[in-house]
Chains A and B, each alone.
Chain A
Amino acid sequence: MTCFRFPSSRAAVLAALASLAVAGGVPAADGGALRIDPVETPVELYQFGIVTGQFTVHNDGEAPVRIVSVKPRRGRGDGSAEPEVVPPGGSAVVSVRRAVEYHLGLIRYGFVIATDETDRPTYIARLPTFVQSAYQPETQSVDFGPVTAGTRPEVEFEVTSTDVEALRVVELKSAPDWLDVEWDPALDADDPQRVRLRARLKDAAPRGTLFGYIHLRTDFAAQPDLVVAVEGTVFGEHLAEPFPLMFGGLHENTAKTIALKVWRRDGQAPELAKAVSSDPAVTVEAGECADDCLGLDVTLQAGAPRSFRGRIVLEFTGSEETLDVPFDAMIVSEGTALEDLGVLDRDVEFDDVLLPVSDQDAQREDDR
């Protein structure tokens, strides 16, 4: 395959850049004198950076308007207006900043512009922002899966950046206290854009479901923060299946029961002493199981639409060990279509199953 040189690409690039210019203003909102020119072109930056932007605000009223404060609707940030008092027929430039933190993708950050207008004290200015990661995979995670207490399983994972010629991890900023993290500080001879790391559970890792984050610092100045999610489940003398309990999607005012089975490693059938649910909608009753196991029926009585998670804590006769069984569910309105995707492998590409990203993410806002 061949390509070619272009005679005057600079002109084309300039034309393209010109087309990215901010679009014109929108009419003044109901009840207010100020009109905010919308920003159409997303600000692009790396994850964990600070997005900055500017809005032009016009005063279409007949009286001066003082901009009292500018701040993000959520998250850390600030803003200012110059001038603070916008004369009739005049305009001001509102500058904003906001930390993007863990966000990723196309987001519209909202900023509250507070004024001294009695009939319209606040306005919302939205800054389209495209937050990208310097690393691939963009959302890194390590999953130990089910683990036997006292063992020290190790998981290797790697992070790549094609945004730099060579990548180094220079510091472990933080990690869960039940985890060791190691890496080779030397560049990978086969692929200098790749770093291989190892995560290992400590002997004293607590039992139950573990979840945390590994915070690393790399030498890539534009995005030095690299965050890796880590999870696993440490079982002691008791084992449970299924684990965790995923009720999935339910219509409101319906019920769903999952049969939970619990075994002991020594082959003896556990005897339930107590079961405590963190949510009153989830209850536990005796169920059926073979002689060597404990059967429990865990029922969710779905009320009003909501998404929630919790846990059932099981206590056993003759044992000091408790077993925390997490559960999660999403209760939806009666008319909502539900499609059960089953259990998906983390690497499954489910392009043909999910709704298109544009439907899910293009409408995302930081206030959702």
Chain B
Amino acid sequence: MSMRGRVLVPLMAIVCGSLPATAADELLLRWAAGNERGVYGYIIYRAETAEGPFLRLNSAVVRVEDGEPDGDVRRYRYADTTVEDGVEYFYVIDVVGVNARRKRLPGMISKRHQADD
């Protein structure tokens, strides 16, 4: 019998908003997660339509150790530096267990990049 390994799904919230723009060619993703036992890190994917296909952005996993502890959660950020002006992007995130299993987190982030925001 083949059984899928376990990846605990973190309690996660995508935190969105806006910051003063000084880097016109970047989009910043921020998220927070708790209950990360068994989690190795996160992989971010991007598509240009909500239906995909989504393609992995970060070759190096955003590791749990990269997060900033904040009470019961850790806060993460990832800067997409390959955006083009006027293009709407869609992002999803996988949580990756220490057993290397990936699990898609609920929620999708969309943003149309505008250099003059």
Is B27 part of the binding interface, using a Cβ–Cβ cutoff of 8 Å? Answer: yes
Given A9-B28, A193-B53: A131 touches B100 (CB 8 Å cut-off): yes
Q: Is A317 an interface residue, CB under 8 A from the partner?
A: no
Which residues of chain B from 75 to 106 have a CB within 8 Å of any chain A CB?
Answer: 77, 79, 81, 91, 94, 96-102
Chain B residues with a Cβ closer than 8 Å to the other chain, count: 57
Find out whether the CB atom of A139 lies under 8 angstroms from the CB atom of B2. Answer: yes
Task: Output the nearest chain B residue to A47 by Cβ-Cβ distance.
Answer: B100
Contact partners of A347 in chain B: CB under 8 A: 4
**A7 CB contacts on chain B under 8 angstroms:** 19-23
How far in angstroms is the closest Cβ of chain A from B98?
Answer: 4
Cα distance A192–B102 in the bound complex, in angstroms: 20
Contact partner of A357 (CB less than 8 A), chosen from B38, B63, B91, is B38
Q: List 12 A-B contacts (CB under 8 A).
A: A3-B14, A4-B28, A6-B77, A10-B81, A42-B63, A106-B100, A131-B100, A133-B100, A139-B4, A162-B45, A162-B94, A229-B2
| A349 nearest CB neighbor, chain B only | B4
Return the contact of B38 from the options A1, A9, A356 (Cβ within 8 A). A356
Q: Is the CB of B79 within 8 A of A358?
A: no
B11 at the A interface (CB under 8 A) = no
A351 and B4 alpha carbons, distance in the complex (Å):
10
A164 to chain B: which residues have CB within 8 Å? 55
List A residues 90-118 near B (Cβ within 8 Å).
104-106
Q: Is the Cβ of B99 less than 8 Å from the Cβ of A357? A: yes
Check B2 against A361 for contact (C-beta < 8 Å).
no
Tell me the A residues contacting B by CB distance below 8 Å: 1-10, 12-13, 16, 19-20, 42, 44, 104-106, 130-133, 136-139, 141, 143, 162-165, 191-193, 229, 343-344, 346-351, 354, 356-358, 361-362
Residues of A within 8 A of B26 (CB): 5-6, 9
Most chain A CB inside 10 Å of its own CB: which residue of B27, B91, B97, B100: B100
Residues of B within 8 A of A (CB): 1-9, 14, 16-24, 26-30, 37-38, 40, 45, 52-56, 60-61, 63, 65-66, 77, 79, 81, 91, 94, 96-102, 107-111, 113, 117
Given contacts A2-B111, A5-B23, contact A351 B8 (CB under 8 A): yes
B40 & A1 in contact (Cβ 8 Å cutoff): no
Decide: B37 and A6 in contact? CB cutoff 8 A: no
B53 touches A192 (CB 8 A): yes
**Cβ-defined contact, B101 with A2, below 8 A:** no
Q: Which residues of A lie under 8 Å from residue B107 when comparing CB positions?
A: 1
